[in-house]
Structure 1
C-alpha cells in the first residue's frame, strides 16, 4: 500500500493538471462562441468559489454592484448566471421560463429527495407536471386547506397556551420564540400531511409513533443545511468521490433516519386502509398519495418512494420558512414600537379582545398583511431562489446563456434596490398600504415564493400559517425587548441554509392581555 501511494499521488496531480487545462481551453472557446454577461475572472479548478462567503446572497449582492444585474460566474466547473434586478428576474422567470425550468442535478436531490423524485428537485417532465397538477387540484386546493383550518387553529391556540405558561413562570416574562414557532408549524404540517401529530415536546412524551421535537428538529435542521450547502462534488465532479466536506456521508446517514420515520408513517396508513376496507376515507395527503401508487390510469406511476419524497418536501418548504418569517417580523416589530402599536390597534378594533384571530379575519387586517409583505421584503427566507438550469442556449438582455448554465435569482438584491424601493433598508409596512404589489409571483419586485411554473405551490398555505400565527401572537400579548436591551443592540445576524434564519434566537417579553380562558388551549378545555 505504501509503495503504491506515490503513484496514486502522481496520478492525482496529472488528472488535476489535465482537468485545469481542459477547463481553461473550454472557457476560451466559450468566450469566442458566446457573449457572456460580465463577471469576475475565474481561478482554475475552483472558479469563483473564493468570492462566495458563508452568506452567499450577500456576497453575490456585493459582486452585482460591481459587475451588474446580470452577472456571469463559475462555481468550480459549473457556469453560473446571477440575476439581481427586476428586469433580469422577469427575463429568467417569465419571458424565458421554459428555457430555465430545469433543476441542476445535485447530491442533495439524489440522497435526501429519493433521487430527485420530489417537486423541488425533479426535472421538468411528465412526472413533475403530473405532481404539480395533483398538488393544485387535490392536495393544496382551497377545499383541502379549509378542511384542515381547524388543525392550524388548534396548534396556534396550543402555542399561545405554552407561551402564557412560560411567560407566567418567569419573573421577567421573557420567552424564546423560535422553539414555539417551530413546533407549532411542524404540527400544523404533520396533521395536514401525515394525519396526526408526530412531534411531541421533551423526551418523556415520545412513544413508538412520535418523535421528540429535539430529534425531529435536528433532522430538519440537518436537512435544511445539507440542501442549501454548496457541495464541492456538485461543482467539481472529479472530486465527488473524495467527499472532502463530509456532506455526502451526512446526507446518506440523514436519508436513512428520515426513511425509517416515513416508512413507519406509511405503514400506519396502509394498516388503517386495510382495517377500514371499503369504508376507508382518505384523511390526509399521504392517504391520497398512497391511493395513487401503481394507479394504471396515471401517465407516470407514483412509487412508494415518490410518496415519501413528496411528504418530506412539505417539511422542507413549510415549517421552517413560516417560523423564520414570523420570527423576523417579531424582531422588526419589537425594534419599532410605533409599528407594533399600529398593528395591535388594528387587531383590537377589528377582532376585539374576547376571541382569538381566525383565518377568515385576515382579509380585514390590511396592516397585518402589510407587515408580512414588508418582512418578506426585508428578510426573504429564500434570498437565492432554488437554482434553475438552462435547458438550451438562451439570450437574455443581449447576453448569451449557454445550455447547462446554473441560474440564480438574488431576491435579496432586488428587495434592496433603491430604484425599486424607497428607503429599502427601513422597515416600513406603510409602503404596502394601498399598493397593488403582491407576493403571488406576478410582481417581480417581491417574489418570496418565486414566479413562473416553478413557483412554490404551497404559497397559499404558507401565507395562512404566517398570518394566523403572527396575528395571534400580536393579539394575545404585549411585546417588548427585555429590560436593558436597546433596539439598536439587537442582533440581526443571519445563518444561510436552504433558507435564512436568525443566528441568535429572538428573546422578548410577553405580557398576556386577553381574558385568561383564551389561553387554555384546545387540549385543556
Structure 2
C-alpha cells in the first residue's frame, strides 16, 4: 500500500505546484502537459521540427514540460533578441542533466558552467588565448594539412577502376578529417601513421567518442523523471565507466605533454600545451583543464562534419550554385595550384555559400538551453527562475517574415544584404549570441569554408546514378546536433590534374 500512496502524494504535489505556477505566473501557452511526464508523450523524435510545428499552433513563444521541468521555446528573431541581449545575464546559466553534470564535473568546464566568476575567467582564457587570431593563424597549417589529406583520400578511392562513376559516402571522409583535425588541435597528436592506420591511442579515443555519442543520443526518461532513477542502475554504471575512461585518457595525454615540455622547454599552439602552460596563471583546476579539452572535442568534431555534409547535399541538389562557386575558384585560384585559406577573402560567393548553409542547417538548431537565474519576462510572458529557454535557430532561418523564400538554398541573398552570423543579427545565429556565444566561431567558419572550397575546386559532385536531386533525403536525424538522417552519397569527378590532389603536410606544428 505504501508505494501507491507515495505515487498519489507525488501526483498531488505535482498538480498543486503546477496550479500554483499557473495562477502566480503568466506562462507562455503550449500543449497540455500530463502529470509527471509533462509533454514527453507528445514530443516527436526530430525535436526542432516538432517545436517549429508547435510554434505555428501556439505562437512564437510557447511552454513545454519535460517531465516536471518547464522549458520555454522562442521561435522569432525579436524574441531571440530579448533572450540573448535584453535579458542575457538573467538567462546565462545552464540546465545540466545528470549525465551532463557527471561529464562536465558539475559545470567545471566552459560550455556547461553557470554564469559567474568561473565562467568569466574561463571565457577570458578561451577568447584571449585559445581562439586568438594569432593562435588560429598559427594552427592554419594543420587545417590545410587535414583538408588536403581528405581530398587526397577521396581522389585515391574514386580513381580506382572499380569505383569509376560510383558514389562515395561523404560522411566517412568528413568524419575522419574532423577527428584528425580536432585531435591535433586539442591533444597535439594525429593518431594516424603515414599508411592511414589509426594507432592504439587513436582507437582508444575513437571508442570513447563513439560510446559518448551512443550514451548521448539514447533518450533516458530518468533525466526527466528523477523519482524513477533507481530503475536505471545499469545506465548509471555505464555513465560512470565512460567518465572514468575519458578521464584516464586525458590524464595520460596531459602527462605526456608535461614531460615533453620539461625535457625541451618548448610549448606549441595545441590547446593542451596552452592550458597546461596557463593553468597556474588562470588558477584552473585539473577538472577544468580536462573539461575544456573535451569541450573542444565535442563542440568541434560533430559540428564540422554535420555542416559540410549538409552544404554538400545542397550543392549536389543545386548544380547552378556549385558551378558558380567553381567559376569563382577557377578565376581566383586557377587550375595550376590548390586553394589556401589566404584565398578566402577573395572568394566572396564561396563565403556566401558558407553563410547560407549555416542559415539553413545550423548544427545545433535549438542552441544549448539557457536557464533563468531569476524571474524574467520574455514576449510579455513570465519565465520563472529555474526554467530553461531554448532559441529555435532552425525556425528563425525559415521565417518568411524575415527571409525571402526561406526554404530555397540561395547564397545570393547574402550578396544583396550583408548579414553578420556571429551574434549581432538575430535572424542568423548558428553560433549563438551574447555571453554564451561560441568562442570558436571564427575557427569553424575558416574550416567549413576551406573544406567546401577544396571539395568544389578539386571535384564536381553529382547524385548517384539513377537518383534525381529532388529525391535526396533531406530529413534530420534526431539528436541535439542534426546529422542528415541518410548519409549523403555523391559521385566525385576530378577537375584538376592528378599532382594537385596530394596532401600538403604541415609537419611538426
TM-score normalised by the chain length of structure 1: 0.92
> Which among 163, 166, 171 is matched to residue 178 of structure 1?
171
1:466 is the counterpart of 2:441: no
Aligned to 1:6: none
Which is further off, 140-149 or 100-109?
100-109
1:198 is the counterpart of 2:194: no
Q: Can you list the C-alpha shifts for 1:112-149, whole angstroms capped at 9, x where unaligned?
A: 22332211111112111111000010110000000010
3-state SS, counterpart of residue 94 of structure 2: coil
| TM-superposed deviation, 1:188 | 1.6
| Residues 523 and 462 of structure 1, relative CA distance in 2, 3 Å threshold | closer
| TM-superposed deviation, 1:524 | 12
Rounded Cα–Cα distance in structure 1 between residues aligned with 2:433 and 2:214: 24
Q: Can you list the C-alpha shifts for 1:471-502, whole angstroms capped at 9, x where unaligned?
A: 10000011111211111211112212231001
Aligned partners of 2:267 and 2:274 also within 8 Å: no
Which is further off, 107-116 or 412-421?
107-116
Aligned to 1:130: 121
| TM-superposed deviation, 1:254 | 2.2
Aligned partners of 2:374 and 2:385 also within 8 Å: yes
Q: Can you list the C-alpha shifts for 1:240-294, whole angstroms capped at 9, x where unaligned?
A: 23228x6544432322232232122112112112322xx333442111211233x
Rounded Cα–Cα distance in structure 1 between residues aligned with 2:298 and 2:18: 36
Aligned to 2:244: 256
Rounded Cα–Cα distance in structure 2 between residues aligned with 1:124 and 1:188: 30
Rounded Cα–Cα distance in structure 1 between residues aligned with 2:274 and 2:28: 46
Indicate the RMSD between aligned Cα atoms, in angstroms.
2.0
> Which among 221, 224, 235 is matched to residue 224 of structure 2?
235
Aligned partners of 1:225 and 1:498 also within 8 Å: no
Rounded Cα–Cα distance in structure 2 between residues aligned with 1:306 and 1:200: 31
Aligned to 2:418: 436
Aligned to 1:285: 271
Rounded Cα–Cα distance in structure 2 between residues aligned with 1:360 and 1:108: 42
Aligned to 1:406: 388
Q: Can you list the C-alpha shifts for 1:171-199, whole angstroms capped at 9, x where unaligned?
A: 22422111111111222212222112135
Aligned partners of 1:224 and 1:316 also within 8 Å: no
Aligned partners of 1:390 and 1:402 also within 8 Å: yes
> Which among 32, 57, 74 is matched to residue 66 of structure 1?
57
Aligned to 1:5: none
Aligned to 1:4: none
Rounded Cα–Cα distance in structure 2 between residues aligned with 1:231 and 1:194: 31
Q: Structure 1: which 5+ runs fail to align?
A: 1-9
Q: Can you list the C-alpha shifts for 1:26-48, whole angstroms capped at 9, x where unaligned?
A: 11111111111111221000011
| TM-superposed deviation, 1:509 | 0.9
Aligned partners of 1:225 and 1:497 also within 8 Å: no
| TM-superposed deviation, 1:97 | 0.3
TM-score normalised by the chain length of structure 2: 0.95
| TM-superposed deviation, 1:227 | 4.2
> Which among 64, 77, 81 is matched to residue 68 of structure 2?
77
Counterparts of residues 89-488 of structure 1 (less than 5 Å): 89-169=80-160, 170-198=163-191, 205-208=197-200, 210-212=201-203, 216-224=205-213, 226-227=215-216, 230-243=219-232, 247-276=235-264, 279-293=265-279, 295=280, 298=282, 301-488=283-470
| Residues 216 and 200 of structure 1, relative CA distance in 2, 3 Å threshold | farther
1:490 is the counterpart of 2:472: yes
Q: Can you list the C-alpha shifts for 1:196-239, whole angstroms capped at 9, x where unaligned?
A: 2135699x93435x323xx6445334434544665433322222
Aligned partners of 1:229 and 1:498 also within 8 Å: no
Aligned to 1:3: none
| Residues 313 and 95 of structure 1, relative CA distance in 2, 3 Å threshold | same
Aligned partners of 2:30 and 2:63 also within 8 Å: yes
Rounded Cα–Cα distance in structure 2 between residues aligned with 1:453 and 1:440: 12
Rounded Cα–Cα distance in structure 2 between residues aligned with 1:145 and 1:475: 24
Rounded Cα–Cα distance in structure 2 between residues aligned with 1:80 and 1:124: 19
- Give every structure 1 segment of 4 or more consecutive aligned residues whose post-TM-superposition deviation is greater than 6 Å: none
| Residues 249 and 57 of structure 1, relative CA distance in 2, 3 Å threshold | farther
3-state SS, counterpart of residue 500 of structure 1: coil
Aligned partners of 1:100 and 1:388 also within 8 Å: yes
Rounded Cα–Cα distance in structure 1 between residues aligned with 2:441 and 2:262: 34
Aligned partners of 1:173 and 1:511 also within 8 Å: no
1:39 is the counterpart of 2:30: yes
3-state SS, counterpart of residue 82 of structure 1: strand
3-state SS, counterpart of residue 44 of structure 1: coil
Aligned partners of 2:192 and 2:199 also within 8 Å: no
Aligned to 1:14: 5
3-state SS, counterpart of residue 439 of structure 1: coil
